[in-house]
Amino acid sequence: MNLDELFGGSSVPSLKIGRHALKFDRARIMAVLNITPDSFSDAGRLIGLDAALTHAERLLGEGADVLDIGGESTRPGAESVSVDEEIGRVVPVIEAIAARFDVPISIDTSKPAVMRAAVAAGAGLINDVNALRGEGALETAAALNVSVCLMHMQGEPRTMQDAPHYDDVVGEVRRFLADRLLACQMSGIDKKRIVIDPGFGFGKSQAHNLALLAQLGQFASIEAPLLVGLSRKRMIGTITGRDMNDRAAGSAAAALLAVERGARIVRVHDVAITRDALAVYAAMRPFEKAPKPTAVRPKSPWDDE
């Protein structure tokens, strides 16, 4: 039995990504494909087109449902790149993947010009760490008529981890995402095309990240699919003591906890181990039952003594 059969249904929510409908009959896996020389985890290994296509094929073979392609690193301390350079990195890869594979494609960018070029090349989802707050980003996304992922970030990549502060991290992040979702709707973006992401590691301390993970269920009130990206992040390394490239198991455990708390999409580097973890969870779900009521013991004559 595959994952689709485990959570299948005749009528389930879905997200339109280009010509694809990503059904939420189960948790979906978004695989990271960075085309950058200074990315958080790929360290420039996927700059060449052939290398990127080979990696994409492997990710899909392992069970990825969406490919998220990025041409600019958003790791803490990262420097920005020019629009032309970012377009030059991602567009050839998107075109080649769209031509070779039947898969939904996401573009990880905050720049309107990159959004337009990527969508023209075959991307159907804009994944913006800045939640479409950049100049012209919201208007561009609305005009392109594609789905969007709105992520929360306190500050900006170069300085976001200097001294993040919240009075109530869960409440503040939830209100921010609800406000951005409303702004998108007011600009003409259909709510059915909007995904939200609390932005783990983007302007958050370890305590902030753990509070968000523990209380992910509170984001259900926004009534939008929840995407979570915890893969290989510093919070996993802090917990496990593992190096960045040795965090697959911890990342899969975090992804599983996120899905258990309501995440519909998990953004990951290590697809195979994540898929296996979610398969075990999905196999268990049909057998969950409400706890049996506690038996009431008959009253004893000695109870009042």
**Residue among 233, 234, 247, 261 flagged as catalytic:** 233
Distance, in Å, from the CA atom of 19 to the CA atom of 24, rounded to the nearest integer, reads 16
Residue 152 near residue 128, CB atoms below 8 Å: no
**Residue among 204, 232, 267, 275 flagged as catalytic:** 267
Residue from 184, 176, 182 nearest 153 by CA: 176
| 204 tagged catalytic | no
Neighbours of 217 (CB within 10 A): 12
Q: Which tokens hold the place of 124?
A: 């159907």
Q: Which tokens hold the place of 299?
A: 């009253």
Residue 150 near residue 128, CB atoms below 8 Å: yes
| 261 tagged catalytic | no
Distance, in Å, from the CA atom of 9 to the CA atom of 194, rounded to the nearest integer, reads 22
> What Å distances lie between residue 21 and 13, 25, 28, 102, CA to CA?
9, 11, 12, 12
Bridge-based pairing of strands 265-268 and 227-228 is parallel
Would you please indicate which residues are annotated as catalytic (active-site) residues?
Answer: 233, 267
